[in-house]
Amino acid sequence: MPSAGILVIGNEILSGKVEDTNSPYLSRELRALGVDLQRILVIPDDVEIIARETRAMSEAYDYVFTSGGIGPTHDDLTMDGIAGAFGVPIERSESIVNRLQRAIGNDLNPSQFKMAQVPKGAQLLDVGDLWFPVVIFENVHILPGIPELLRKKFESIRERFKGVPILLKRVYVKRRESEIAESLNALLGEFPELMLGSYPKIGVEAFHVLLTLESRDAGYLQSALDALLQRLPSESIHKVE
């Protein structure tokens, strides 16, 4: 199955001034599509760091998604960093200039021209009713940091990444994790390909542990769920979803 990495770029995230909501959103979307997200990395607005980490992710994963650093200000350095990652120059895209002129007006200022700078050879994808395209260089998909714009852009291209979806079952258990750990270990011995998660909950009266069972194979998942429910006392099950 395809793999992915997310690169969140911005001093504002590292300083805590802005909360990152983009990587959780992308994580959920990619999982629903069947893409294995393997890494999320937050880095500062530094061209050399952006270049180094972009190159590393590009070589390690099938898809890379960057968030942030593509606006008109001095600290928007993502395009320069990605160009550096692949050893290509940055150049002005006349296609983006034309789009900006239609959206803003014919007289663009230097900051607005900066938004038309992309790595040489980048692919531009039209994204429905959004006037600014999605910029792709090799397997790196360059997305904005503004959550509303990132979501609209990703929605417009999400079908490009569709794999085999991961199916999920949830089991809410009224036993503590230490009381069911042996049953969970035995379940994995019987179903080694099962993705099993165990998450204790504090301050919740109805149950103590949320178990998640995941697989791309519906039959395998159901068999694992049935086996788990047989291993646990019926009175310990709060609900199954």
Q: List, for residues 92-126, the tens digit of each pLDDT value.
A: 999 888 888 888 877 888 888 998 999 999 999 88
Q: Please write the tens of the pLDDT for every residue from 8-33.
A: 999 999 999 999 999 999 999 999 99
Cα–Cα nearest to 113, from 131, 93, 130, 132: 93
Averaged pLDDT for residues 219-237: 96
Strands (E), 15-166: 36-43, 63-67, 90-92, 117-119, 123-127, 130-137, 140-143
Based on the fold, state whether residues 53 and 129 are members of the same structural domain.
Answer: yes
Question: 143: pLDDT confidence band, cut at 50, 70 and 90?
Answer: very high
Based on the fold, state whether residues 156 and 171 are members of the same structural domain.
Answer: no
Q: Please write the tens of the pLDDT for every residue from 58-94.
A: 999 999 999 999 989 988 999 999 999 999 999 999 9
* Structural domain containing residue 150: 3-161
Strand partners of residue 143: 67
List, as one string, the DSSP characters of 166-235: PEEEEEEESS-HHHHHHHHHHHHHH-TT-EEEEEE-SS-SS-SEEEEEEES-HHHHHHHHHHHHHHS-GG
What tokens appear for 131 in the block?
A: 């006037």
User: What predicted TM-score, i.e. pTM, was given to this entire model?
Assistant: 0.86
Based on the fold, state whether residues 127 and 222 are members of the same structural domain.
Answer: no
From residue 225, alpha-carbon distances to 16, 209, 222 in Å are 40, 15, 5
Asked which of 136, 161, 186 is the last residue of a domain, the reply is: 161
